[in-house]
């Protein structure tokens, strides 16, 4: 019985990570209509930057401060995104979708190899962050406090994002641009600035997802595409362009994944996509999706 | 060809021809139906593993049977994947194709007792017979003979595939696909069953690429999950973009060119994916018509300027 509780917590932890990635993907799509094929690579970049900086600073900096490297890693990724959007993505808005997909796919290839060039093939870990928080007993079984903390971070991020999009002035601008770009521009909104900030925010979230997960799991090559495939299931199930969809989708996918890994590990991904296929047959735009 | 060059060059060209078949199949979807698939490695893998399974579990050695098996297996996969992917907008289509090919990859990887896992399954050419058993390659020094014979075999299959694809693309079916690509709404108003045509295009595309995978394996001697991994899909996309996907011959040129590029450039840099990505970005930004497309345009411009001045 206790095992179930632990698995639920594991599932929530992974759901937090998936939510961050999927919400970033959905945000970018909702506002700009672009699916960033390199989104998973931003996640990987966040993981690598965080792990590397934690290890590099571990000797000089006390462990509680090391936690600051998590949002720092995310911020680095956001900066990369802020540079990439005007240079690589913006020229393609008016071109057919195929070209947008091709250019972000090219970006994916580049980022994957850049990561390999900079950090090499050995996995990077930042396990000391998990160790420093210790364990807590849940029903007699030990469980890392880190995971609980990150579930909290995920929930806070969900709430924060919701508040940001639905309760701030910038959020209104964001939603206006997402709904009707031309009208927003006609009303005097600087669409270019919104785009670049939305892209940066999306990348920040992907990077944060990577930063959160890396103390718990090593940063390895290929993690970007692996998570992209999972993030796709989340947005397919939840609906591309929807924040609630990203949250619900992340919870569902994470729960399904935890269950399948427990009982029949090999078909994990196949089972997830089977469910996605079924959802698509019933509701082609996903549970909360809208045609964009 | 083999008369003129070494065994190695013949082998290289044979690889190029198999990739050209894959590119032909891929471009039916991209160039003619307007659907960009990032998951064509699924069909390469289906064709390849079909050969391996048939050899290992059924003891088959006839190349003709391998071809049939490869076609059948990739047709099944394409039919299934098509049902899921084809009812969606272009973005979802691209996402789903990538994801489904990755699902196959994880299956090949994890069910290692069937697929040999990362070690893969060996497909020695000595066990392969061509032309219904007439030509076989026993003996230790048979490799050169195999490469020569196999080259001609693949050449014939390639010519047949190119001819078939030409016919398909210029047939009413092909024209309908192009109509759907150019203006989906209008096609629907003309009574075209969009879903069905796209699914059929997906099926045919998958079969051609699966055939390419089947031809590729005996030359490679080994099939591993790598053939299903996403960079393989990326390469196929690259062939079409490099050559020019708005043109029938573009993907063929792109595939063969890339094949040579890869062999010679891999020697220069270990960051092959980076190079590929940068070239892809450059191509899409500055040369979207690819090699063939741009050449055609330049030739047309030259002809016009010469005609105007004359």
A90-105 per-position pLDDT tens digit: 888 878 888 888 889 8
Maximum CA extent, chain B: 71
**Within a domain: A266:** no
Average pLDDT (B89-98) is 83
**Within a domain: A201:** yes
Rounded distance between C-alpha atoms, residue B182 and residue B192, angstroms: 13
> Is B281 at the interface with chain A, CB within 8 A?
yes
Closest CA to A236 of A199, A207, A273, A206: A273
What is the residue-averaged pLDDT of chain A? 86
pLDDT at B310 exceeding the cut of 60: no
- Mutation site for B-interface testing, chosen from A89, A229, A256, A278 by largest number of B Cβ within 10 Å: A229
> Is A273 at the interface with chain B, CB within 8 A?
yes
**Within a domain: A273:** no
pLDDT tens sequence across A5-59? 888 888 999 999 999 999 999 988 888 888 888 999 999 999 999 998 888 887 7
> Is B217 at the interface with chain A, CB within 8 A?
no
Q: How confident is the model at residue A60 (pLDDT cuts 50, 70, 90)?
A: confident
**Chain B nearest-CA residue for A281:** B84
**Within a domain: A250:** no
Smallest CA–CA distance, residue A175 to chain B, in Å, is 21
Contact A106 B284 (CB under 8 A): yes
> Is A282 at the interface with chain B, CB within 8 A?
no
Instruction: Give the pLDDT score at A180.
Output: 83
pLDDT at B110 exceeding the cut of 90: no
Domain boundaries, position A69: 16-221
% pLDDT > 70, chain B: 96
CA A280 to each of CA A66, B83, B86, B93, B102: distance values in angstroms, whole numbers, following the listed order: 42, 11, 11, 12, 18
Q: How confident is the model at residue B3 (pLDDT cuts 50, 70, 90)?
A: low
Contact B106 A269 (CB under 8 A): yes
Instruction: Give the pLDDT score at A292.
Output: 41
Q: How confident is the model at residue B163 (pLDDT cuts 50, 70, 90)?
A: very high
Residue pair B213/B227 in contact (Cβ under 8 Å)? The answer is yes
Instruction: List beta partners, residue A138.
Output: A141
> Is B302 at the interface with chain A, CB within 8 A?
no
pLDDT tens sequence across B116-141? 888 888 888 777 777 766 777 776 66
Smallest CA–CA distance, residue B194 to chain A, in Å, is 16
pLDDT tens sequence across B176-221? 999 998 888 888 898 888 889 999 999 999 999 999 999 999 888 8
Instruction: Give the pLDDT score at B309.
Output: 57
Alpha carbons within 13 A on the beta-carbon side of B3: 1
- Burial grade of B222 (CB within 10 A; 0-12, 13-18, 19 or more): middle
> Is A118 at the interface with chain B, CB within 8 A?
no
The structure tokens listed for A30 are 């909702």
The structure tokens listed for B9 are 């060059």
Lowest mean pLDDT among A75-84, A112-121, A275-284, B301-310: B301-310
Give the closest of A102, A114, A270 to B274, CB-based: A114
Chain A residues touching B280 at Cβ < 8 A:
102-103, 105-106, 109
pLDDT tens sequence across A161-196? 989 888 888 888 888 888 888 888 888 888 888 889
Average pLDDT (A221-233) is 88
Give the closest of B230, B272, B284 to A99, CB-based: B284
Q: In what helix (H) or strand (E) does residue A203 lie, and over which residues does it extend?
A: helix A191-213
Smallest CA–CA distance, residue A88 to chain B, in Å, is 8
Q: Which residues contact B253 (CB under 8 A, 6 or more apart)?
A: B242, B243, B244, B291, B292
Give the closest of A112, A268, A270 to B273, CB-based: A112
**Within a domain: A179:** yes
pLDDT at B272 exceeding the cut of 90: no
State the DSSP string of B95-157: HHHHHHHHHHHHHHHH-HHHH-GGG-EE--GGG-EETTTTEE--STTHHHHHHHHHHHHHHHH
Q: Which of residues 2-61 of B touch A (CB under 8 A)?
A: 30, 34, 36, 38
CA A157-A37-A257 angle, to 5 degrees, is: 60
**Within a domain: A2:** no
Q: Which of residues 91-120 of B touch A (CB under 8 A)?
A: 91-92, 94-96, 98-100, 102-103, 106-107, 110-111
% pLDDT > 70, chain A: 99
Contact A273 B103 (CB under 8 A): yes
Residue pair B204/B28 in contact (Cβ under 8 Å)? The answer is yes
Angle, nearest 10°, between helix axes A97-119 and B90-110? 40
Domain boundaries, chain B: 7-229
CA A123 and chain centroid, separation: 20
Q: Are strands B121-122 and B222-223 parallel, antiparallel or unpaired?
A: antiparallel
Chain B residues touching A102 at Cβ < 8 A:
36, 237, 241, 280, 284
Count of structural domains within chain A: 1
Phi, psi of B135 (to 5 degrees): -115, 125
Lowest mean pLDDT among A75-89, B80-94, B152-166: B80-94
Instruction: Give the pLDDT score at B2.
Output: 56
Smallest CA–CA distance, residue A283 to chain B, in Å, is 11
> Is A266 at the interface with chain B, CB within 8 A?
yes
**Chain A nearest-CA residue for B282:** A103
> Is A283 at the interface with chain B, CB within 8 A?
no
**Chain A nearest-CA residue for B111:** A266
**Within a domain: A183:** yes
Chain B residues touching A109 at Cβ < 8 A:
231, 234, 273-274, 276-277, 280
pLDDT at A78 exceeding the cut of 90: yes
Give the closest of A97, A111, A269 to B103, CB-based: A269
Rounded distance between C-alpha atoms, residue A69 and residue A214, angstroms: 11
E-state strands within chain B: 121-122, 129-130, 135-136, 222-223
pTM: 0.86
Chain B residues touching A114 at Cβ < 8 A:
274
Higher pLDDT, B287 or A204: A204
pLDDT tens sequence across B11-68? 889 999 999 999 999 999 998 988 999 999 999 999 999 999 998 888 888 888 899 9
**Within a domain: A127:** yes
State the DSSP string of A92-115: GTTS-HHHHHHHHHHHHHHHHHHH
Smallest CA–CA distance, residue A107 to chain B, in Å, is 6
Q: In what helix (H) or strand (E) does residue A2 lie, and over which residues does it extend?
A: helix A2-32
């Amino acid at each position: 019985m206790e095992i179930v509780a632990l698995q639920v917590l594991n599932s929530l932890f992974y759901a937090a990570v998936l939510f961050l990635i999927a919400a970033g993907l959905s945000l970018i799509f909702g506002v700009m209509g672009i699916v960033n094929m390199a989104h998973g690579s931003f996640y990987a970049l966040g993981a690598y930057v965080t792990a590397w900086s934690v290890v590099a600073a571990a000797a000089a900096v006390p462990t509680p401060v090391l936690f600051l490297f998590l949002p720092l890693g995310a911020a680095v990724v956001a900066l990369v995104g802020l540079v990439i959007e005007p240079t690589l993505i913006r020229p393609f808005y008016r071109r057919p979708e195929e070209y947008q997909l091709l250019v972000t796919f090219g970006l994916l290839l580049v980022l994957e190899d850049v990561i390999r060039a900079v950090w090499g093939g050995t996995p990077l870990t930042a396990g000391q962050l998990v160790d420093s928080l210790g364990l807590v007993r849940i029903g007699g079984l030990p469980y890392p406090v880190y995971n609980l903390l990150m579930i909290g971070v995920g929930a806070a991020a969900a709430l924060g994002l919701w508040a940001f999009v639905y309760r701030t002035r910038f959020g209104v601008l964001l939603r206006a641009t997402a709904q009707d770009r031309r009208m927003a521009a006609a009303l005097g909104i600087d669409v270019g600035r919104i785009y670049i900030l939305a892209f940066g925010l999306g990348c920040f979230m992907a990077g944060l997802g990577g930063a959160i997960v890396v103390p718990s799991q090593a940063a390895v090559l290929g993690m970007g595409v692996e998570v992209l495939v999972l993030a796709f299931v989340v947005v397919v199930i939840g609906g591309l362009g929807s924040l609630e969809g990203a949250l619900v989708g992340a919870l569902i996918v994470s729960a399904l994944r935890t269950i399948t890994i427990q009982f029949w590990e090999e078909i994990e991904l196949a089972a997830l996509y089977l469910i996605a296929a079924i959802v698509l047959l019933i509701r082609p735009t996903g549970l909360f999706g809208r045609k964009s | 060809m083999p008369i003129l060059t070494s065994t190695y060059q013949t082998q290289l060209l044979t690889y190029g021809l198999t990739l050209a078949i894959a590119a032909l199949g891929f471009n039916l979807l991209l160039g003619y139906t307007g659907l960009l698939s990032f998951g064509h490695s699924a069909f390469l893998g289906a064709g390849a593993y079909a050969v391996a399974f048939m050899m290992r579990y059924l003891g088959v050695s006839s190349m003709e049977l391998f071809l049939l098996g490869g076609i059948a297996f990739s047709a099944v996969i394409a039919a299934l994947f098509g049902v899921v992917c084809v009812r969606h907008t272009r973005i979802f289509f691209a996402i789903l194709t990538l994801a489904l090919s990755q699902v196959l990859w994880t299956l090949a990887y994890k069910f290692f007792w069937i697929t040999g896992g990362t070690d893969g399954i060996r497909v020695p050419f000595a066990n392969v017979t061509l032309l219904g058993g007439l030509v076989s390659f026993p003996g230790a020094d048979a490799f050169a003979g195999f490469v020569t014979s196999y080259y001609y075999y693949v050449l014939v299959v390639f010519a047949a595939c190119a001819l078939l694809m030409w016919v398909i693309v210029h047939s009413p079916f092909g024209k309908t696909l192009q109509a759907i690509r150019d203006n989906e709404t209008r096609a629907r108003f003309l009574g075209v069953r969009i879903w069905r045509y796209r699914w059929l295009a997906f099926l045919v595309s998958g079969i051609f690429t699966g055939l390419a995978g089947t031809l590729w394996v005996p030359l490679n001697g080994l099939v591993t999950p790598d053939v299903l991994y996403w960079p393989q899909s990326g390469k196929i996309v690259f062939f079409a973009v490099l050559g020019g996907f708005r043109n029938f011959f573009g993907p063929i040129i792109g595939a063969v060119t890339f094949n040579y590029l890869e062999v010679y450039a891999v020697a220069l840099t270990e960051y092959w994916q980076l190079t590929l990505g940068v070239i892809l970005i450059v191509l899409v930004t500055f040369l979207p018509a690819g090699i063939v497309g741009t050449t055609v345009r330049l030739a047309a411009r030259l002809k016009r300027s010469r005609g105007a001045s004359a």
